[in-house]
Amino acid sequence: MADFKKLRSSYLWKRSLLFLGVFGPATITAMADNDAGGIATYSVAGAKLGYPILFPLLLITVLLAVTQEMGMRLTIITRRGLADLIREKFGVRVSLLIFAALLIANFGTLITELSAVMTTSAMFGLPPAPTVVAIVLFSFLIVTLGNYRLTQSIMLVACLFFLSYIFSAFKSKPDWDLALGNLLYPHGVDFTRAYLRDYLIISIGVLGTTITPWGQFFISSFAYDKKIKKGRVFLSQFEAYLGAFLTDFFSFFMIVATATTLYVNHIPLESGEQAALAIKPFAGELAGKLFAVGILNAAFMGLVVVSLSTAYAFAEFFGISGSLNDSFKKGKSFYIVYLAQLALATLVILSLRISLFKLAIVTQTINAIMLPPVFYYLIKLTSDKALMGQYANNKFQRIFAICCTGMIVVVSFVAVGVYFFTS
């Protein structure tokens, strides 16, 4: 039929724009891993341990890619969110258990973001408490009054800050052989007992800041909200891998930057100003200001994304409608859950005033510990042939994911044990 020739050409034209349209959920989730908690964790990692901490990063990246891809595939094929499926297949008790894990992990992360806001407001000379409240209010407004596309645009712009780490890493002239070599095996440093203890604990922190329970739920809900067609599975998979690579691409440079500027000179990482030294080679005197803006931005992103994931999960598990495209009136419970966590986190941070860099590792470790139950159900669902049809996990994916989950459980126990028995 001749008329279809025109259809075909416009179809091809559309396909190239398609990728840009799908480009969103996985990249944003991956980028949001570089939230304030992430920046703090990677900075501490590089500053305290130098290049060898790059070794776990590679493995973590692969695991991130695999789990994000599973999450996206699950939603695209079944057209349901992760929480929805868990509720339907495993019932109320399991739902409550997983939701509790998510809530705890997320709450820790929220407190970390707010702690970052306090740290940076000091760098700007702003009063910390009102700044925190202002940022929280802004996070609330943007989500209730805005909609999916607006939120996505803001977050994509925020990702540009991380470029400064890349430039800084190059300018500070690190030992590239040593850095890249450490991706393959850790070396070049004195592995004392104290060092190994820190190494273990910080590795779990790095894991927990890169792969998070909320990330798993978020990618599923965000992809659902965006309504991606089944035919675009391949593109989404590619995007999931790309997103994972991008996130740790930036983490790599963050670690290298702090390792070269702070570790090498034995500067301890306790304040925002010290952390800003990591981008001084690139930003010069503006390092402090740039870092403050960047981390504030990252904190904001983290606040929105993490609270949203809790709200999404709550809606899905317990049956309320939850979508960024609903007005406040329609999705009251959804927005209330969103605000309640932020409000509670604000109260906690204002009363406790904990240092960001100490807090980050602890909360990100909690994130890591909450991963195994989430992964367990994720793997179970994505391996279910009745559910996924031809898109069910293949052997490699299943075995790899199960092994990693097992490893996470073991290492978490060891790390927590080491932390409590040797401090």
Partner 1 sequence: MAFLTEIFSSEIIKRPVLDPKGEDLGRVKDVIVVKGDHLPKVSALIIDRKKSLYVLPWNSLNIFNKRILSTNTYLDSLAPYVLNPDDLLIERDILDKQIVDANGAKVVRVNDIKLGGYDDDAVLVAIDIGVRGIIRRLGVERSCDGFLRVFHYSLPRQLINWNYLQPLRSKLDPITLKVPRQMIADLHPVDIAEIINQITPEEGSHLIKGLDVETAAETLIELKPEVQAGILTSMGAEKAADLIEEMPPDDAADILNDLPIEHAQEILGHVEKEDAEDIQELLSHDEDTAGGLMTNAFIAYGHEITVAEAIERLRLDAKEVENVYYIYVLDRKEKLMGVTSLREIILAEPDCHLADIIRTNVKTIRPGADKMEAAELVAKYNLYALPVVDDDGFIRGIITADDILDILLSAGHRRG
Q: Would you count residue 6 as binding partner 1 (CB under 8 A)?
A: yes
For partner 1, which stretch binds (CB under 8 A), given 16-24, 92-100, 135-143, 345-353? 92-100
Pick the binder of partner 1 from 7, 12, 17, 194 (CB under 8 A).
7
CB closer to partner 1 out of 4 and 234: 4
Q: Would you count residue 227 as binding partner 1 (CB under 8 A)?
A: yes
Q: Would you count residue 11 as binding partner 1 (CB under 8 A)?
A: yes
Q: Would you count residue 153 as binding partner 1 (CB under 8 A)?
A: no
Contact 38, 251 (CB under 8 A): yes
CB closer to partner 1 out of 75 and 260: 75
Q: Would you count residue 230 as binding partner 1 (CB under 8 A)?
A: yes
For partner 1, which stretch binds (CB under 8 A), given 21-29, 76-84, 101-109, 165-173? 76-84
CB closer to partner 1 out of 230 and 332: 230
CA 59, CA 44: separation in Å to the nearest integer? 19
Q: How far from 100 is each of 67, 78, 218, 381, CA to CA, in Å? A: 20, 24, 16, 20
Contact 81, 224 (CB under 8 A): yes
Pick the binder of partner 1 from 229, 330, 353, 385 (CB under 8 A).
229
Q: Would you count residue 332 as binding partner 1 (CB under 8 A)?
A: no
CB closer to partner 1 out of 56 and 81: 81
Torsion-angle region of 151 (φ positive above 0: left; ψ -120 to 50: alpha; else: beta): alpha
Q: Would you count residue 319 as binding partner 1 (CB under 8 A)?
A: yes
| DSSP secondary structure letters along 10-60 | HHHHHHHHHHHHH-SHHHHHHHHTSSHHHHHHHHHHHHHH-GGGHHHHHHH
Binding positions for partner 1, 160-189, rule CB under 8 A = none
Angle at 415 between CA 52 and CA 67, to 5 degrees: 75
CA 322, CA 334: separation in Å to the nearest integer? 6
Q: Would you count residue 394 as binding partner 1 (CB under 8 A)?
A: no
Amino acid at 13: W
Pick the binder of partner 1 from 318, 376, 391, 419 (CB under 8 A).
318
Pick the binder of partner 1 from 96, 137, 184, 399 (CB under 8 A).
96
Q: Would you count residue 3 as binding partner 1 (CB under 8 A)?
A: yes
Instruction: Return the structure tokens found at 348.
Output: 């906690």
For partner 1, which stretch binds (CB under 8 A), given 20-28, 147-155, 181-189, 246-254? 147-155
For partner 1, which stretch binds (CB under 8 A), given 5-13, 181-189, 203-211, 351-359? 5-13
Q: Residues 231-270: x/- map of binding to partner 1 (CB under 8 A)?
A: x---------------------------------------
Task: Return all residues near 241 (Cβ < 8 A) that are at least 6 apart.
Answer: 65, 69
Nearest Cα to Cα of residue 315 among 82, 29, 69: 82
Burial class of 91 by CB neighbour count within 10 A (0 to 12, 13 to 18, 19+): exposed
* Site size with partner 1, rule: CB under 8 A: 29
Instruction: Return the structure tokens found at 96.
Output: 């409550």
CB closer to partner 1 out of 10 and 192: 10
Burial class of 191 by CB neighbour count within 10 A (0 to 12, 13 to 18, 19+): exposed
Q: Would you count residue 329 as binding partner 1 (CB under 8 A)?
A: no
Pick the binder of partner 1 from 22, 80, 135, 365 (CB under 8 A).
80
Q: Would you count residue 395 as binding partner 1 (CB under 8 A)?
A: no
Q: Would you count residue 145 as binding partner 1 (CB under 8 A)?
A: no
CA 314, CA 83: separation in Å to the nearest integer? 8
Task: Return all residues near 252 (Cβ < 8 A) that are at least 6 apart.
Answer: 54, 57, 183
Q: Where does this chain bind partner 1 (CB under 8 A)?
A: 1, 3-4, 6-8, 10-11, 78-80, 87-88, 91-93, 96, 147-149, 227-231, 318-319, 321, 325
